[in-house]
Amino acid sequence: MKQSRAVAIIRVCFVSLLALFLVASLVLTLFFARENNEYENRKANRVLPLTFGAFMNSSFQDSLESALSDQVPFAEGFKKAYNEADAYLSYNLLSATFADNADRYFDFNDVSVYNKDYLVYAPGAFSPTEKSGIDLKLGLLQKLVEKHPELKFYAYYIERDCDLNFETLEKVGYAEYVEEKLPENIAFSKFEINNFDTYSKYFFKTDHHWNHKGSYKAYTELLDLFETEEILALGEEYLVGEGFVGSKLSAAKTDAFWGEDLYAYKFGFCDMKIYENGVESADYGRQNGTADAFLSSGEKLNYNAYYGAENGETVFDTGREGRENLLVIGESYDNALLKQLACHFNRTYSIDLRYYKHYMGEEFSFDAYVEQHGIDRVLFIGNVDFFVLDVFNLKAEG
Amino acid sequence: MVFSSLTFLCAFLPLVVLLYYACKKRTWRNAVLLVFSLLFYAWGEPKYIFVMLASVLVAYLGGFAIEFFKRREKQGFARAAMVVTTVILVGCLVVFKYLGLFAETFRALFSQNLNVVRLVLPIGISFYTFQILSYVIDLYWGKVVLQKNYFTLLLYLSFFPQLIAGPIVRYETVEDELKNRKETWQGFVAGLEKFIFGLAKKVLLANNLARLADGIYGYGIEKAGTLFAWVAVIAYTLQIYFDFSGYSDMAIGMGRMFGFHFPQNFNYPYIATSVTDFWRRWHISLSTWFRDYIYIPLGGNRVKPWRHAFNLLVTWALTGFWHGAQWSFLLWGLYYAALLLLEKFVLAAFLKKLPKFFGWLYTLFFVVIGWVIFYNESVWEIVKTLGALFVPSGTSPLDLISSDSSLGTALLFLPVSAVFAFPVLRRFLEKESPTAVLCREAICLVLFVLSFACLISSTYNPFIYFRF
């Protein structure tokens, strides 16, 4: 009798625990949904309103599945624990292999390990889709050049890990294709990577961006492109902070085995006013400070935190009326050199077409913008994604 | 919707259980199950629910016709009604599942410029067609009585636990339980335990074994070398077992939670000591369906040897082809027909004398080779895989691992899975002492949490520079 009572109690506890967890999952997802997913650093998924159309095309069903994955109790803990455990096993089984075979790529979750300490995106083949993406972009640029003969146009292609196979030193050929097909009236230069040594010198170990040496090299090459002789004095190299969080750590699903510190150059920047998405800002990123400044605010030490956020529009106004105005249309790579470049112009306008409409409330109009701000020079700058993906393209006008 | 989805675990299952037990009357409880079963089916592809509703309607009306003629003792008409109903139901399956393959084959053989359209296969059509056929044929044979309520027949067919991946529950099995079943607390908990064990089989074991098998096949089985080729096929052998038996366990467990008793679908098939024994343990509901509705009506083994062989060939060709619209499945079925014929006519006496271990080894070898045929889509790929297995070639683990580091982790699941393919836990799972129950429930909770974490982690989608 006692035994069966004990069994009954155990079973009640077992079912109650499960029921409580599952019901709480549903209630939290439907009625108390979180705004953000801190672990994955993005907006948390939420359930779409249930409509007949949404049900029939399965978007409601998909949204419920995604929402549950973000909203159930301990969702982030579950993901983190699982990913860390999985990465721990994979890494420890293979760490010796990584070290013994430094000149090979090893696929690790959504990224590759190369030279033991570097997380890289291994190159693939130059696909027809990528080719047509570049053709589309260059076609649009051709129209701009024809429509605005009064402007000087420049293009700067940034080669990175996915442009070159470090094992064979074969290039995928993106930059060469852009250079070949680019309209004649656009002056072209590129940030060239020809081997792993160059790559490791100019890029982070755990982030897809260039480091301070890479961005400075690009800055000097851009000055050559602009035929500008003055150059900003290079200050000393200093340690911004330890524990830099590179984007590829997320792709590797762990930050336990790879890491690095963030170094930067001290520049004697000229005086300038900075406006981010129309709002005046004390600095772009924290380029004047050390890690303490933002780590104390709970922010992670990553590329954008230091070099500046991905805005729709960032304006640098030096007040040097006699100089020209520059429009930079690019992506996050240019964040690290915008302040330097700005010192050579009256006003420098940086546009990221992925975010412009979100922050500025309207589509970006090249014609109107150029006229409104008295633009003299236009620079298109980015890595392969910038030249291939449609989100970086100007909408065709007139 | 699949059982191993968060929507099913966190929304569907708790809601259906709550509403089901909130109702007191059987009619209302059945109504809850029916509504949720239709929702379950419509969740993935709403429009194909009409194919299922139409199939039930055909069987429902066909049932009335059969009964009508039987009552008037017009056996020939009753038989005709059964045949017509069967042809319509099987025809529907053929149109959706095989027409594209037939048209493609015709085009390839005769170089005809046919415009081939492969229809989207309604989920579970192979399973529910066979279930509803069991009703029609058993009604004709007088094994079951006419179901006059369309909705009860619809509930039988659409009942969500067994709708999309079996087991193929015959109408005869649940005829009584559709109206008169008894739900018990003990049954509910036992069902929940079985469900969780099934979930863990699928999510923790099968999915990780799939990483290993697909990883090596994806890399190129001929490049992987003999050792890793064997690893891939053994991983797939275990994956398909844990995947399928996991789903069956979940279905059977949920059936128990609502008072139904579905038959066992897998009985440790990899301990079989002959191929005949294997098929008594693997996907039992399918093999017995073919036995009872195809093999025995053809004459079974109580005929001349050549006819017996013919019956086996037909049954196994159909069994193979049932698994998918690919000629390789037909080949797989014929492979088993050949093995079974060999066992029946040549090896029977020898196998009886053979020590069990050797019987087991022989069976496992041919089953693994069978899965090679099953996995690969073309004869050329089958030959390539067999070549990789039997023509010794050097392994290049470094190349393989560099293509996917997670293979190393997935490899750890191979021995663990191999152990659980044997009945190591059978006694423990049946014990009812407080300590055993406590251990079992604790293990269930741990398995549930691990499976849940595994499911959630598959949605990992970070964005490092998020600002809005």
Could you read off the pLDDT of B343-402 as tens digits, one per residue? 988 887 888 888 889 989 999 999 999 999 999 988 899 999 999 899 888 776 777 777
Residues B131 and B271 placed together within one structural domain of the fold: no
**How many domains, chain B?**
2
B2: region left, alpha or beta (phi > 0 left; psi from -120 to 50 alpha):
beta
Name residue, tokens 């259906």.
B16
Of A55, A61, A304, the CB nearest to B7: A61
DSSP string, A310-361: --SEEEEE---TTS-EEEEE--GGGGGTHHHHHTTSSEEEEE-TTTHHHHHS
Residues B172 and B201 placed together within one structural domain of the fold: no
Residue A153 lies in a domain: yes
Q: Which of B37-51, B81-95, B128-142, B253-267 has the lowest mean pLDDT?
A: B37-51
Nearest to B123 by CA among B31, B222, B51: B51
Residues A42 and A152 placed together within one structural domain of the fold: no
Residues A64 and A133 placed together within one structural domain of the fold: no
Residue B119 lies in a domain: yes
Residue A292 lies in a domain: yes
Residues A39 and A150 placed together within one structural domain of the fold: no
The answer to whether A273 touches A252, Cβ cutoff 8 Å, is no
Mutate to test the interface with A, among B2, B189, B405, B459 (most CBs of A within 10 A): B405
What is residue A371's predicted lDDT score, i.e. its pLDDT?
Answer: 94
What is residue A242's predicted lDDT score, i.e. its pLDDT?
Answer: 86
Residues B143 and B218 placed together within one structural domain of the fold: no
Rounded Cα distance between A163 and A170, Å, is 9
Name residue, tokens 């619209």.
B325
Give pLDDT tens digits along chain A (398 positions): 567 788 888 888 889 999 999 999 999 998 998 888 877 777 888 988 888 888 888 888 889 988 998 888 888 888 888 888 888 888 888 888 888 888 899 888 889 999 989 999 999 999 999 999 999 999 999 999 999 999 999 999 999 999 999 999 999 999 999 999 999 889 999 999 999 999 999 999 999 999 999 999 999 999 999 998 888 887 888 888 888 888 898 888 888 898 899 999 988 888 999 999 999 998 898 887 666 666 666 677 889 889 998 899 999 999 999 899 999 999 999 999 999 999 999 999 999 999 999 999 999 999 999 999 999 999 999 999 999 999 898 876 65
Within 8 A by CB and 6+ apart from A307, the residues are A215, A284, A285, A287, A335, A336
Contact A89 B408 (CB under 8 A): yes
Residues A180 and A264 placed together within one structural domain of the fold: yes
Tell me how far CA of residue B2 lies from CA of A66, B7, B97, B227, in angstroms: 15, 9, 20, 35
Within 8 A by CB and 6+ apart from A20, the residues are none
Tell me how far CA of residue A142 lies from CA of A68, A312, B96, in angstroms: 47, 24, 50
Beta strands at A152-158 and A186-191: parallel, antiparallel or unpaired: parallel
Identify all chain A residues contacting B462, using CB atoms and an 8 Å cutoff: 39-42, 250-251
What is residue B77's predicted lDDT score, i.e. its pLDDT?
Answer: 92
Of B121, B152, B180, which residue constitutes the final position of a domain?
B180
Q: Which residue has the higher pLDDT, B468 or A22?
A: A22
Identify all chain A residues contacting B441, using CB atoms and an 8 Å cutoff: 10-11, 13-14
Nearest to A26 by CA among B4, B14, B451: B14
Residues A152 and A56 placed together within one structural domain of the fold: no
Rounded Cα distance between A357 and A334, Å, is 19
Residues B294 and B437 placed together within one structural domain of the fold: yes
How confident is the model over A203-250, as pLDDT tens digits?
A: 999 999 999 999 999 999 999 999 988 888 878 888 888 888 888 988
Residues B95 and B146 placed together within one structural domain of the fold: yes
Q: What is the DSSP secondary structure assignment for residue A36, as one 8-state letter?
A: E
* ipTM value for the complex: 0.79
Residues B175 and B256 placed together within one structural domain of the fold: no
Residues A215 and A305 placed together within one structural domain of the fold: yes
Give the ranges where chain A is alpha helix by DSSP (H): 2-31, 52-56, 59-71, 75-100, 128-147, 174-181, 196-202, 212-226, 247-252, 291-295, 303-307, 338-342, 356-360, 366-373, 384-388
Residue B461 lies in a domain: no
Residue B468 lies in a domain: no
Residue B462 lies in a domain: no
Residue A295 lies in a domain: yes
Is the per-residue pLDDT at B460 higher than 70? no
Of B148, B180, B212, which residue constitutes the final position of a domain?
B180
Of A26, A51, A73, which residue constitutes the final position of a domain?
A73
What is residue A91's predicted lDDT score, i.e. its pLDDT?
Answer: 87
Quickly state the pLDDT bin for B73 (edges 50, 70, 90). confident
Name residue, tokens 């890289």.
A120
Residues B109 and B226 placed together within one structural domain of the fold: no
How confident is the model over B393-428, as pLDDT tens digits?
A: 877 677 777 777 778 888 889 999 999 999 887 777
Residue B71 lies in a domain: yes
Element (H, E) at A382: strand A377-382
Rounded Cα distance between B100 and B104, Å, is 6
Within 8 A by CB and 6+ apart from B215, the residues are B400, B403, B404, B406, B407, B410
Q: Quick one: what percent of chain B has pLDDT higher than 70?
A: 96
Residues B201 and B129 placed together within one structural domain of the fold: no
Residues B193 and B171 placed together within one structural domain of the fold: no
Residues B194 and B159 placed together within one structural domain of the fold: no
Residue B285: domain span: 188-456
Of B13, B457, B467, the CB nearest to A83: B457
Residue A297: domain span: 128-392
pTM score: 0.82
How confident is the model over A364-377, as pLDDT tens digits?
A: 999 999 999 999 99
**B323 counts as catalytic:** yes
Give rounded-to-5 percent helix, strand, coil for chain B: 75, 0, 25
Residues B152 and B251 placed together within one structural domain of the fold: no
Residue A316 lies in a domain: yes
Mutate to test the interface with B, among A78, A108, A333, A354 (most CBs of B within 10 A): A78
**How many domains, chain A?**
2
Tell me how far CA of residue B319 lies from CA of B132, B333, B337, in angstroms: 17, 6, 10
Q: What is the CA radius of gyration of chain B?
A: 24
Residues A68 and A157 placed together within one structural domain of the fold: no
Is the per-residue pLDDT at B64 higher than 80? yes
How confident is the model over B163-186, as pLDDT tens digits?
A: 877 788 889 888 888 888 999 998
Nearest to B201 by CA among B148, B266, B126, B256: B266
Of A15, A70, A104, the CB nearest to B402: A104
Residues A21 and A135 placed together within one structural domain of the fold: no
Tell me how far CA of residue A214 lies from CA of A154, A201, A211, A290, in angstroms: 19, 8, 5, 20
Rounded Cα distance between A254 and A241, Å, is 20
Q: 3-state DSSP call for residue B209?
A: helix
Q: Which two tokens stand for residue B457?
A: 């982690």
Is the per-residue pLDDT at B314 higher than 90? yes
Inter-residue long-range contacts of A73-79, CB under 8 Å, 24+ positions, other chains counted: A73/A21, A73/A24, A73/A25, A73/A28, A75/A37, A75/B456, A76/A37, A76/A38, A76/A39, A76/A40, A78/B449, A78/B452, A78/B453, A78/B456, A78/B457, A79/A39, A79/A40, A79/B453, A79/B456, A79/B457, A79/B459, A79/B460
Of B146, B180, B214, which residue constitutes the final position of a domain?
B180
Of A52, A73, A94, which residue constitutes the final position of a domain?
A73
The answer to whether A69 touches A75, Cβ cutoff 8 Å, is yes
Mutate to test the interface with B, among A79, A108, A250 (most CBs of B within 10 A): A79
A25–B contact, CB cutoff 8 A: yes
Contact A7 B44 (CB under 8 A): no
Classify residue B79 as exposed, middle or buried by CB count within 10 Å of its CB (0-12, 13-18, 19+): middle
Rounded Cα distance between A107 and A252, Å, is 9
Q: Which two tokens stand for residue B298?
A: 């053809």
Residue A146 lies in a domain: yes
Residues B413 and B328 placed together within one structural domain of the fold: yes
Rounded Cα distance between B37 and B35, Å, is 5
- At position B13, the amino acid (one-letter code) is L
Name residue, tokens 């991905």.
A310
Contact A11 B441 (CB under 8 A): yes
Which residues, numbered 185 to 204 in chain B, qualify as contacts with chain A under a Cβ-Cβ cut-off of 8 Å? 185-186, 188-189, 192
Is the per-residue pLDDT at B461 higher than 80? no
Which residues, numbered 318 to 337 in chain A, qualify as contacts with chain B under a Cβ-Cβ cut-off of 8 Å? 332
Residue B463 lies in a domain: no
Residue A66 lies in a domain: yes
Residue B464 lies in a domain: no
Residue B275 lies in a domain: yes
Which residues, numbered 442 to 461 in chain B, qualify as contacts with chain A under a Cβ-Cβ cut-off of 8 Å? 444-445, 448-449, 452-457, 459-461
How confident is the model over A250-288, as pLDDT tens digits?
A: 888 888 898 899 999 988 888 999 999 999 998 898 887
Residues A335 and A212 placed together within one structural domain of the fold: yes
Rounded Cα distance between A182 and A163, Å, is 18
CA distance to partner chain B, nearest, from residue A78 (Å):
5
Residue A78 lies in a domain: no
Identify all chain B residues contacting A310, using CB atoms and an 8 Å cutoff: 465, 467
Contact A107 B404 (CB under 8 A): yes
